């Protein structure tokens, strides 16, 4: 298995770097409420679709000898519980999950900027957390079979691009700095190769299909919660309801087509 480590790590690195492409989209374009809502909705659509159609199903298949779908569901809701706990531990003054006021007249431009900065920072943090097991799953799959790991890495890379947009747009709107937006987006994605390497070193003696399957299902739970509790409410709060909804549908469509082509 160790002989395939360089190739598997390369897959994980490329998947992580793709968040920087999302930041580049923002850096090359112009920020607006419509772009913010569309980007957040797009990311939510990708996350929700890939969670239910790819990660949860794939994890259940890996866990077929260990309870199958029941174990997969336990890991899925365990992932939700983990990110909910992290969310509850974040002080209210730093928590952007109640994004009321992003577009209302009450509150100064400084207040709006701080809210957007918190939204971008917390989205980056949440994505960093879920990218850790996601990168580990990519690495382990590539170690087992490079050809099987390649489509998974490509699928993750595709959905990492709108994740990069979701991080970069509010950061750029808050700071006016395209460089900071790019760095925040890229940083959240680099958790994939870094986390994959660290988890591999710690868990190498215990790697099994069941462990990989459990990681996939937990990641699915984390991504669904982020989408419903962070991305969509923030998209709605900027006052572009239709842009958020269209972005959501577009994200699901992009992921559906890409997975079908890769399958």
Contact 79, 220 (CB under 8 A): yes
> Token digits for 238?
């900027």
Q: Residue 233 phi/psi, 5° resolution?
A: -60, -40
**Helix ranges restricted to H, the chain:** 5-28, 33-50, 56-62, 69-89, 109-144, 146-175, 178-189, 191-203, 209-226, 232-237, 241-262
> Token digits for 104?
């209302």
Q: What secondary structure letter does DSSP report for 240?
A: -
Contact 52, 258 (CB under 8 A): no
Using the structure block, give the residue that is written with the tokens 């809502």: 37
Q: Whose CA is closest to 12, among 123, 131, 128, 187? A: 131
Q: Is residue 159 annotated as involved in ligand binding? A: yes
Q: Is residue 134 annotated as involved in ligand binding? A: yes
Give CA–CA dist 221/47, Å, rounded.
Answer: 10
Neighbouring residues of 92: CB distance < 8 A, sequence distance ≥ 6: none
Q: Is residue 236 annotated as involved in ligand binding? A: no
Q: Is residue 160 annotated as involved in ligand binding? A: yes
Contact 55, 219 (CB under 8 A): yes
Q: Tell me the binding residues for Fe(2+).
A: 131, 134, 160, 163, 192
Q: Tell me the binding residues.
A: 131, 134, 159-160, 163, 192
Q: Tell me the binding residues for Zn(2+).
A: 134, 159, 163
């Amino acid at each position: 298995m160790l002989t395939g480590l360089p190739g598997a790590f390369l897959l994980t690195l490329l998947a992580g770097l793709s968040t920087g492409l999302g930041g580049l989209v923002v850096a090359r374009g112009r920020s607006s409420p419509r772009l913010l809502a569309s980007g957040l909705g797009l990311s939510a659509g990708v996350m929700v679709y890939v969670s239910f159609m790819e990660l949860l199903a794939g994890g259940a298949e890996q866990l077929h000898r260990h309870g199958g779908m029941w174990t997969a569901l336990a890991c899925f809701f365990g992932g939700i519980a983990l990110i909910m706990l992290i969310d509850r531990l974040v002080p209210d003054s730093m928590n952007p999950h109640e994004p009321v006021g992003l577009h209302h007249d009450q509150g100064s431009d400084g207040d709006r900027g701080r809210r957007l900065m918190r939204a971008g920072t917390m989205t980056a943090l949440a994505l960093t957390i879920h990218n850790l097991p996601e990168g580990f799953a990519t690495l382990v799959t590539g170690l087992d079979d490079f050809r099987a790991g390649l489509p998974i890495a490509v699928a993750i890379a595709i959905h990492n691009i709108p994740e990069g947009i979701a991080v970069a747009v509010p950061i750029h709107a808050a700071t006016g700095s395209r460089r900071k937006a790019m760095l925040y987006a890229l940083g959240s994605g680099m958790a994939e190769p870094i986390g994959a390497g660290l988890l591999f070193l710690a868990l190498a003696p215990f790697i099994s299909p069941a462990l990989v399957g459990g990681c996939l299902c937990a990641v699915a739970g984390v991504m669904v919660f982020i989408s419903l509790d962070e991305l969509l409410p923030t998209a709605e709060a900027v006052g572009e309801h239709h842009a958020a909804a269209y972005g959501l549908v577009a994200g699901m469509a992009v992921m559906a087509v890409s997975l079908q082509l890769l399958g």
